[in-house]
């Protein structure tokens, strides 16, 4: 098994293009140990980027991550997010400190604004800069930002330090390919794709199942491999199932042929014009 390819963030950190999500983890205390074990398996397989957020299970997902990374913090790139309702200058700092406590770590590698809210971006960016200076975060980014949001961010003081934009992107949600992704690619800002297999809802499509048969793999692996095939994209599938985690890992080793890519392109057509950014 080859190492997972990496991508360099504008902040200088190299991260694997395939990581792990934690949305819906931490909700059930009885499942937390199994969820932490799943994340540990992913880390062992090279999926050392773990994405979480204060919103997920009211902080419970961050506590699961803490359990998973205990004793191996130096191997892991931790991403977390501040809720827009907390994203004032003071509120962002407080929220980050609370996340650090739940994560049981001294710093967060990448800290994101979860989506646009009522606070001015200047406030949030100023808080991110303060957190950087104090060593509590090592880089910052945004999530669910469309082109107009990114342009507004770019125009404010410190805004060009953004390291990633995390968005909904998969075969069914190809809207970002028109407008947003080219905008980010021109500035070397990676896209982090959440729900890269649409939470499993597209996996019965005959185009995916047909290619899966050709490759002797699963439709989920094919869908994930397609996302990983896009330039400047990091994918963060979530799973607590060890078999699914091993399957996800295989997607990083698959190179889809031009014919297979064309089949998927025809089955899941890219829009002809810019569309509003989808969110889940």
Summarize pLDDT for 86-107 with one digit per residue, the tens: 999 999 999 999 999 999 999 9
* Average pLDDT score over residue span 253-275: 96
- Predicted local distance difference test score (pLDDT) of residue 280: 86
Residue 265 lies in a domain: no
Q: What is the mean pLDDT of the chain?
A: 97
How long, in residues, is the chain? 280
Residue 222 lies in a domain: no
Q: Is the pTM of this model over 0.85?
A: yes
Q: Which residue range forms the structural domain that includes residue 196?
A: 15-200+233-241
Does residue 1 carry a pLDDT above 80? no
pLDDT in tens, 232-258: 999 999 999 999 999 999 999 999 999
Residue 234 neighbours by CB under 8 Å, 6+ apart = 7, 15, 16, 17, 18, 19, 49, 164, 190, 191, 192, 193
pLDDT in tens, 182-215: 999 999 999 999 999 998 899 999 999 999 999 9
Q: Are 126 and 156 spatial neighbours (Cβ–Cβ below 8 Å)?
A: no
Phi-psi region of 156 (alpha: psi -120 to 50; beta: other; left: phi over 0): beta
Residue 60 lies in a domain: yes
Number of domains in the chain: 1
Residue 88 lies in a domain: yes
Q: Which ranges of 45-146 would DSSP assign to H, the alpha helix?
A: 60-69, 89-103, 121-133
Does residue 8 carry a pLDDT above 90? yes
CA distance 158 to 167: 21
CA distance 112 to 143: 6
Does residue 109 carry a pLDDT above 80? yes
Question: Could you tell me the CA-to-CA distances from 170 to 52, 185, 194 in Å, in that order?
Answer: 19, 17, 8
Structure tokens at 137: 């975060």
Residue 30 lies in a domain: yes
- Predicted local distance difference test score (pLDDT) of residue 273: 94
- Predicted local distance difference test score (pLDDT) of residue 125: 98
* CA dihedral angle for residue 64, residue 69, residue 75, residue 80, rounded to 10 degrees: 40
- Predicted local distance difference test score (pLDDT) of residue 200: 85
Residue 150 lies in a domain: yes
Residue 166 lies in a domain: yes
Handedness of CA 80, 84, 89, 90 (dihedral sign): negative
Q: Are 140 and 161 spatial neighbours (Cβ–Cβ below 8 Å)?
A: yes
Does residue 218 carry a pLDDT above 80? yes
Question: What residues are annotated to the active site?
Answer: 56
Residue 221 lies in a domain: no
**In this prediction, what percent of the chain has a pLDDT beyond 90?**
98
Does residue 269 carry a pLDDT above 80? yes
CATH of the domain at 189: 3.20.20.100
């Amino acid at each position: 098994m080859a190492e997972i390819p990496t991508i360099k963030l504008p902040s200088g950190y190299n991260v694997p293009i395939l990581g792990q999500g934690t949305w819906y983890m931490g909700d059930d205390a009885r499942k937390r140990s199994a969820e932490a074990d799943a994340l540990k398996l992913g880390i062992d397989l090279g999926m050392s980027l773990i994405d979480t957020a204060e919103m997920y299970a009211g902080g419970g997902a961050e506590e699961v991550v803490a359990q998973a990374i205990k004793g191996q913090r130096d191997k892991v790139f931790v991403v977390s997010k501040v809720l827009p309702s907390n994203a004032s200058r003071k509120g962002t700092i407080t929220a980050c400190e609370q996340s650090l406590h739940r994560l049981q770590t001294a710093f967060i590698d990448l800290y994101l604004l979860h989506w646009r809210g009522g606070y001015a971006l200047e406030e949030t960016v100023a808080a991110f800069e303060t957190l950087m200076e104090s060593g509590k975060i090592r880089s910052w980014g945004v999530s669910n930002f469309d082109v107009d949001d990114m342009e507004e961010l770019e125009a404010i003081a410190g805004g060009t330090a953004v390291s990633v934009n995390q968005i909904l992107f998969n075969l069914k949600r190809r809207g970002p390919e028109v407008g947003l992704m080219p905008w980010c690619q021109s500035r070397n800002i990676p896209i982090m794709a959440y729900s890269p297999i649409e939470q499993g809802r597209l996996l019965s499509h005959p185009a995916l199942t047909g290619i899966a048969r050709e490759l002797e793999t699963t439709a989920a692996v094919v869908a994930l491999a397609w996302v990983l095939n896009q330039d400047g994209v990091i994918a963060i599938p979530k799973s607590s199932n060890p078999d699914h985690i091993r399957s996800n890992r295989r997607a990083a080793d698959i190179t889809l042929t031009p014919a297979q890519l064309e089949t998927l392109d025809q089955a899941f057509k890219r829009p002809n014009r810019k569309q509003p950014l989808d969110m889940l």
